[in-house]
Every structure is written in structure tokens, then in C-alpha cells.
Structure 1
């Protein structure tokens, strides 16, 4: 039985944003999977496009290693998402509002980051993920 969009999405969030585990993240993708962030400038810290499971693994491991840790971990209780199931059973869209506790503009206020991900799956794995988020978050 193939994984549901909700299972795929939750596993992706856990492996990436919550645990920053590049190996677990890469294993969610097909061998030829693509992870791209079209709005990110080519010179940003976050890779603009990664093709293939091994490139995703290496690039995300390097990105996570560069993280200072002061960006915080998302507050799962406050964060929200909605999955939009499309007419194509292999495609879903995630509309996400991620909340980070008290690491605002020096005032201790929560910061909410809104983004959209378009996910194409194949055999229960991510074949192509487009992550649309504010480029300034990763530069």
C-alpha cells in the first residue's frame, strides 16, 4: 500500500524541519527525485535545485551543517498546514504556516513563516517537490 499525502508530508517535515536529518529526508525521495526552491537566488545558502536522492542527501547535509541553531525549531503545536488533494492522485499541495517561538525581531514575538509546497509522488515517494518560501529565510 502506498503512503498517503498526509504520511508523506508529515515524514518530510519530521526529517527536514524538525530533525534536520539529511539521510532520512533523502530516503523520502525517489532515486531520481528533485527538490527545488524556485524563489531562492542561485547564491543562497539553501540549494536552489537538487536532482537525485544522493545530491539531495549531500546538499541538505551540508546545509544543515552550516545552520547555527539560532533559527529555532518550529513549534508544532502552533504551526498549521492544509493539504490540497488534486485531481491527479500523485500530486498534492501543502499550504503551511510555520510558527517559531519568540525568535522575532528582538522583541521575543513569535515569527510565522508561510509557504507553499507542490509535491509530485511516485510509488509512495517524492518524485518532485517545489518549495515556495521567502528567499531571505535561507540566504
Structure 2
């Protein structure tokens, strides 16, 4: 199991944004882990709050089943992130700028902040702060 922020974040990005693998994503969480997106209004395709590994698996699988609106692809070479450790060794913050290239070659950048709370190498709480208009 990963033990440092870089490993945990790397696995999270691979399972979520890059491969959209709900099973792999859910396995990164503790059995009672919580994934929250506080800026998402209720009733949207992207879930506002998922509690428990199985709810995370089902909720993200349902979201991933919808095609991305733009049909764009993440440009990993131009995207960037900075991880910030905190005074609490179980908490780190990810500051992210994701570059997406649309089929017509135009690019957009989605900036977001994620706060991770870790327990025994797994995500116990992830709070994901981003513009809700970017997901549905």
C-alpha cells in the first residue's frame, strides 16, 4: 500500500482521471472512506458525496459510463500539480491544473484543489473543489 502523498496521489490520478477505473479508484479508499465534491449541486451526474468504498465504486462507475461532454483528452505533459504537506502527517493538499485538448485541438485548463486525509495508506476522506460546470 502506498505510504507517501506522491504515491497515493499518483495512483488516484491514474485510477480516476487517466483510466476512469471505478474499481481501482474505490480500492484506494478505506472501507468507510468518503469522496466529497462540495461545489457540486444536488441532482447532477457527478456525485456530490459518496460514503463507503462500494458507494464510491458504484457512483463513479455511473459517472464514468457517461461520455465526457467535450470528447477531450487530458494532456499529461502540459498538466501540472503541486502537492503540499501539512502539519498533520495524514493530510496533504493537491493543487492541480489539468489541460484538456478538445477534438478540434483547442485547449482548456481546469484548475482544482483536493484535500486528502489518509489512514493506513488509503484515502479516508477526499474533498474535491472544482468548477461544477466542467463535469456535466
TM-score using structure 2 length: 0.94
Q: Which consecutive unaligned segments of at least 5 residues does structure 1 have?
A: none
Counterpart Cα distance in 2 of 1:117 and 1:35: 10
RMSD of aligned residue pairs (Cα, Å):
1.6
After the TM superposition, which parts of structure 1 deviate over 6 Å for at least 4 consecutive aligned residues? none
User: 2:79 matched to 1:82?
Assistant: no
Counterpart Cα distance in 2 of 1:28 and 1:116: 19
Alignment of 1:1-139 (within 5 A): 3-68=3-68, 70-101=70-101, 103=102, 108-139=105-136
Counterpart Cα distance in 2 of 1:72 and 1:115: 18
Moved more, 68-77 or 119-128: 68-77
Q: Is the 8 A contact 2:35 2:126 kept in 1?
A: yes
Q: Is the 8 A contact 1:117 1:129 kept in 2?
A: yes
SS at match of 1:66: coil
Counterpart Cα distance in 1 of 2:36 and 2:93: 14
Say if 1:85 and 1:44 are closer, same or farther in 2 by CA, change over 3 A: same
Number of corresponding residues: 136
Counterpart Cα distance in 2 of 1:36 and 1:71: 25
